[in-house]
Amino acid sequence: MYRHLSRFRLRRADLAGIPSSVAIGIGLLFLVGGMARAEEAPIFEARVSKVLDGDTFTLSGESRRIRVWGLDAPEWNHQGGSTATSTLRSLISGKHLRCAVLDVDRYGRLVAQCLLPNGRDIAAEMIRSGAATEYCRYSGGYYGTC
Would you list the domain boundaries of the chain?
5-139
CA–chain centroid gap for 5, Å, is 14
Lowest mean pLDDT among 1-15, 40-54, 90-104: 1-15
Instruction: Report phi then psi at 94, rounded to 5.
Output: 75, 0
Predicted TM-score (pTM) of the model is 0.74
> What is the Cα–Cα distance from 14 to 76, expressed in whole angstroms?
26
- Identify the pLDDT of residue 38: 54
> What is the Cα–Cα distance from 113 to 118, expressed in whole angstroms?
15
**CATH code given to domain 5-139:** 2.40.50.90
For the cut 90, the answer to whether the pLDDT of residue 9 exceeds it is no
> What is the Cα–Cα distance from 53 to 40, expressed in whole angstroms?
28
Q: What's the mean pLDDT when you consider all of the chain?
A: 82
- Identify the pLDDT of residue 89: 98
Residue of 11 and 103 predicted with greater confidence: 103
In this prediction, residues 131-143 reach a mean pLDDT of 97
pLDDT band at 41 (very low <50, low <70, confident <90, very high): confident
For the cut 60, the answer to whether the pLDDT of residue 121 exceeds it is yes
**DSSP letters spanning the chain:** ----EEE----GGGGTTS-HHHHHHHHHHHHTTSEEEGGGS-EEEEEEEEEEETTEEEETT--S-EEETTEE---TTSTTHHHHHHHHHHHHTT-EEEEEEEEE-TTSPEEEEEE-TTS-BHHHHHHHHTSSEE-HHHHTTTTS--
Q: Is 123 within 8 Å of 68 (Cβ atoms)?
A: yes
In this prediction, residues 49-70 reach a mean pLDDT of 95
